[in-house]
Structures are given as C-alpha cells and as structure tokens.
Structure 1
Amino acid sequence: METKSKNQKETAPQMENRKFREFFVDQLKDIYWAEQALYKALPKMMKAATSKKLASAFEKHTKETEGQIRMLEQVFELMGEKAKAKKCEAMDGLIKEAEAIIEDTDKDSYTRDAGLVLAGQKTEHYEIASYGTLVEFAKQMGETKVAELLQKILDQEKNTDISLTMVAEDQVNEEAVKE
C-alpha cells in the first residue's frame, strides 16, 4: 500500500479546487461569448418586431446585455483572469433559430412576434440556467463578490423573461391567433 506524505494530502484538495476553478472560468468564457453574440442579435430582433412593446422589450434587453458584458468583465478581473470569450454553441444555435423565425414568418405579423418571444425566452432560459449554476459555483469557491455580480445578472435575466411573458400574454399571442 502506497502512503502519501502530508504535503500530498494537503495538495489534493487544492488540485481539485484548481480544476473546478478552471472549469468555472471556462464556463464564464462561454457565457461571455453568449452575451456578446446576443448583444449583436437583439437589435435585429427589435427591428423585426411588429409590436412596439416587444421592440421596446428587446431594446431594453440590449442595454441590459451591454451592462451584463461589463459585469462579466468585472467577474473575470475579480478571478484574476483576462476577459476572453469561447464560442457558446448553445447560444449560437438559439440565435440561428431566431434568425430562421424572422426569415420564415411574414414581416409586420404578430405570428413573427410570437416566434420572436419564443426565441427570446429560449435565450433567457439558457442564460437563467447558466447564471444560476455559476452563482452557486462561485459561492462554493468562496467568491462572494463574483457570486453577487452573477446574481445581479441572473435577476435581470429573470425579469426579462417575465417582461417577454407579459408582452406575449397582453397582446402578441392574441393577435397572432387572429391572423
């Protein structure tokens, strides 16, 4: 039976923590790319919207996304890392789906708006899942300030999801059914 020295026993948890930290930073790179890509896609969605309320919701989310990108840059700084993006295949696919909805639906229709709400909420749900997990990861690592910034972004994502639901329920879905 092989015995480990005292130093080896002490470094094993540190090694595991380092691997988890690397995984966490990798996931930050993924969501950083996702936010940057969404920031570019939202104005297209806003322009394609028929409903002024929906266009306004996308405009508001564009501004929030810009702030979220800055908050993520602060998170990287707090982690002692350079802000770097890694292509997020999930968000890339969701944005492509939103573009297909725009292409496949009639301009100035509420059917398009219903599709845009669907696409918008899919991105929100992806972000909510990502940020919810990242908040918990940060807490487990004792990164309180990082967790607070990520929680702030998570709260914004949840509010955006609610506002898209309200736009859909207050106008878009009812008008789409009539077309």
Structure 2
Amino acid sequence: MGFFTKDIKTMDDLLIHGLEDIYYAEQQILKALPKMIDKATNRDLVTGLKNHFEETNKQVERLEKAFAKLGKDPSGTKCPAIDGIIKEADETAGEIEDKAVLDAAIVANAQAVEHYEMCRYGTLIAWAEELGHDEIVRFLTTNLNEEKAANTKLNTVALRKGVNAKASTAA
C-alpha cells in the first residue's frame, strides 16, 4: 500500500500505514547498525551506535504497543526511503579506505537515518494527536525524543570528539 493508493481512505488508515512504514524502517536500521558499528573506529562513535542499537530495540517495542492500541498486529510495509538511505550508506562505506574519513561518513549516514526518523515520527505524532490517540502519542514522542538525542550525540562526536577534524587531515 503506497501513500497515495485507494487502500488509504481515512486518517486512521494513514496513521496505520505510517506506523507500518516506521516499523519497517526501524527493523532495517536494526540490521544496518551492527555493520556500522563494525566499520567505525572512533570509540565515541562506536559507543553511541551501540547505545542507539539498544534504544532502537526499545523503539520497536513501543511501536508494537502502538499497533496493539489500534487493535492491529505489528507489521511493516516496505519503505523505499530508508532502503535508499541504508543502501547509500553501504555503498559509501565500501568506497572509503581511510578509517578517519570512514568514521565521518558513518556519522553523516547515521544522521541521514536520524533525520528520516525524526520527520516520520513528527508526522505520526501530529496524526495520532488529531485522532485522539494519546497513549500512542506518548510512545511516538518518546521515540522522537530518542532520535533527536541520537542526532545531537552524533553532532557531538563529529564536531567535539574529533571525528571531522581527524578526517579533514587524512591523507
């Protein structure tokens, strides 16, 4: 079911489709994060990615609770956006030999993922609020706040923990 298909007739349908989209995205992120962790060399970056892996598992659990509140089984719908972001991250990582430059690329790729998630969660919160799904709003807001915090931590790793500075002096 695409965003502009006849399968979506109501705002509730739209919310469910959006939840399926982000549920799929979070599942794909759980598959991608271990690869990013394995390739990263900066200690702060590795720690941050590992912590976010654990957070992502909790985010999936909250999404499953949101589905339950709507009387739906949790399921994902293919999300070409996250698939494209992850594919680009894989391709970029495969092309970079210098470890410092690779760490900077991993930060950038992880931030692309975070920005997608922040966008999606913000929209879902607005829809859930409009539909009066207060508990779902709380679940989604927690996830959104974690995504924002992860993005801030990535900025810190890039700018204050030396990832970008080290990459800029790579040969």
Confirm whether residue 64 of structure 1 aligns to residue 50 of structure 2.
Answer: no
Q: Extract structure 1 runs of 4+ deviating beyond 2 A.
A: none
Unpaired runs of 5+ residues, structure 2, are 1-8
What is the CA–CA distance in structure 2 between the aligned matches of 1:82 and 1:44, rounded to whole Å? Answer: 29
Deviations 1:104-161 (A, max 9, x none): 1015x11001100110000000000000110111000000000010000000000000
Corresponding residue to 1:92 among 56, 62, 83 = 83
Confirm whether residue 27 of structure 1 aligns to residue 18 of structure 2.
Answer: yes
Corresponding residue to 1:138 among 120, 124, 128 = 128
- Structure 1 or 2, whichever has the larger Rg, is 1
| Counterpart position of 2:144 | 154
Confirm whether residue 80 of structure 1 aligns to residue 71 of structure 2.
Answer: yes
Question: What TM-score do you get using the length of structure 2 for normalisation?
Answer: 0.92
What is the CA–CA distance in structure 2 between the aligned matches of 1:53 and 1:150, rounded to whole Å? Answer: 27
Question: What TM-score do you get using the length of structure 1 for normalisation?
Answer: 0.88
What is the CA–CA distance in structure 2 between the aligned matches of 1:57 and 1:88, rounded to whole Å? Answer: 25
How far did 1:56 drift?
Answer: 0.8
What is the CA–CA distance in structure 2 between the aligned matches of 1:42 and 1:101, rounded to whole Å? Answer: 15
How far did 1:33 drift?
Answer: 0.3
Confirm whether residue 44 of structure 1 aligns to residue 35 of structure 2.
Answer: yes
What is the CA–CA distance in structure 2 between the aligned matches of 1:100 and 1:55, rounded to whole Å? Answer: 20
Deviations 1:15-66 (A, max 9, x none): xxx6110111011001000000000100100110010111111101100000
The number of aligned residues is: 162
Indicate the RMSD between aligned Cα atoms, in angstroms.
1.2
What is the CA–CA distance in structure 1 between the aligned matches of 2:44 and 2:35, rounded to whole Å? Answer: 15
How far did 1:101 drift?
Answer: 1.6
How far did 1:67 drift?
Answer: 0.5
Partner SS, residue 58 of structure 1: helix
- Answer 1 or 2: which has greater helix percent: 1
| Counterpart position of 1:3 | none
Deviations 1:78-108 (A, max 9, x none): 011110111111000111111112101015x
What is the CA–CA distance in structure 2 between the aligned matches of 1:55 and 1:88, rounded to whole Å? Answer: 26
| Counterpart position of 1:10 | none
What is the identity percentage for the equivalent residue pairs of Structure 1 and Structure 2? 35
What is the CA–CA distance in structure 2 between the aligned matches of 1:161 and 1:30, rounded to whole Å? Answer: 20
| Counterpart position of 1:102 | 93
Unpaired runs of 5+ residues, structure 1, are 1-17
